[in-house]
Homo-oligomer: A and B are copies of this chain.
């Protein structure tokens, strides 16, 4: 544990811990507040290769593009994609191509995910139906003074 004194004393320009960093870069706390996630989550996403913020010494600095990525990640999570899926899609980005392939893969994955969601809804509806029936029966039993043990 030792001399790891960060190279760096950077141009002592900005100073507030929470301030935007002039270049539009923000620190982890700012991003966390802005998107409603924890610091742990941001570091976790980075560890999984979903985000790659720059460093100023050891401090992470998030660019506009990092934010765009995070937005996409959270969108993916909302529609039920795993982080693995999200990463696979993001990783297809080619700054020198048309990214038609990325789009087709994303579309394909999305269609499959949509199918899964529909299946889930069907299962959920079945559960709701069965549970509703059970509730009606239990209410009736209680109202009638019947108390058939759930299990004997």
Interface of A is mostly: helix
In this complex, the interface size class of chain A, counting residues with CB under 8 Å from chain B, is: 35 or more
CB pair A124 B127 closer than 8 Å:
no
Contacts of A124 in B (CB 8 A): 117, 120-121, 124
Contact with B along A118-149 (1 / 0, CB 8 A): 10110011111011101100110110000111
Contacts of A100 in B (CB 8 A): 142, 147
A9 contacts B by Cβ under 8 Å: no
A107 in contact with B135 given A68-B151, A89-B150, A121-B125 (CB within 8 Å): yes
Contact with B along A67-110 (1 / 0, CB 8 A): 01100100100111000000001100101001110111011001
